[in-house]
């Protein structure tokens, strides 16, 4: 299943928020991403339809196993790309912004090569 960039962004945001707080609600996502509550509600409905998240009766959001795997993969890409770009001498804010754009379009082949390269240079 090919998830659109916006879906990946929502999953990544839910993951980041869940690392900070035990619970994540739609309002938390709206505030973090700067989107309206109706826009977030529509996006979350799509993620539920795709069986990537579930919500309980209190509106708290949790991942399905598949949703968590996708979110963690996107977040891993973000962290590695940010670090890689910063090693080139770019400031953290710019590196993070650029990583956010790249993480959604980079192929697994290229990303895996970057991981391999990062691991080689880390051990030197």
Q: pLDDT band at residue 86, thresholds of 50, 70 and 90?
A: very high
What are the structural domains of the chain?
5-69 (1.10.10.10), 73-122 (1.10.60.10)
Work out the number of other CB atoms within 10 angstroms of the CB of residue 40. Answer: 21
> What are the DSSP calls for 16-34, one per residue?
HHHHHSS---HHHHHHHHT
Q: How many CA atoms lie within 13 A of 106 on its CB side?
A: 21
**pLDDT tens readout for residues 46-75:** 999 999 999 999 999 999 999 999 999 999
pTM: 0.86
Give the residue-averaged pLDDT of 103-124: 84
CA distance 11 to 90: 26
**pLDDT tens readout for residues 1-17:** 457 888 999 999 999 99
Chain position carrying tokens 């998240």: 53
């Amino acid at each position: 299943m090919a998830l659109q960039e916006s879906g990946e962004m929502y999953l990544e945001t839910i993951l980041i928020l869940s690392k900070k707080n035990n619970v994540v609600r739609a309002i938390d996502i709206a505030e973090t991403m700067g989107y309206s509550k109706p826009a977030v509600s529509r996006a979350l409905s799509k993620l539920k339809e795709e069986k990537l998240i579930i919500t309980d009766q209190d509106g708290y959001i949790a991942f399905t196993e598949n949703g968590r795997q996708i979110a963690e993969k996107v977040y891993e890409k973000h962290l590695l790309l940010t670090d890689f770009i910063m090693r080139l001498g770019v400031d953290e804010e710019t590196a993070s912004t650029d990583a956010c754009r790249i993480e959604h379009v980079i192929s697994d082949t290229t990303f895996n090569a970057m991981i391999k390269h990062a691991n080689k240079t880390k051990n030197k």
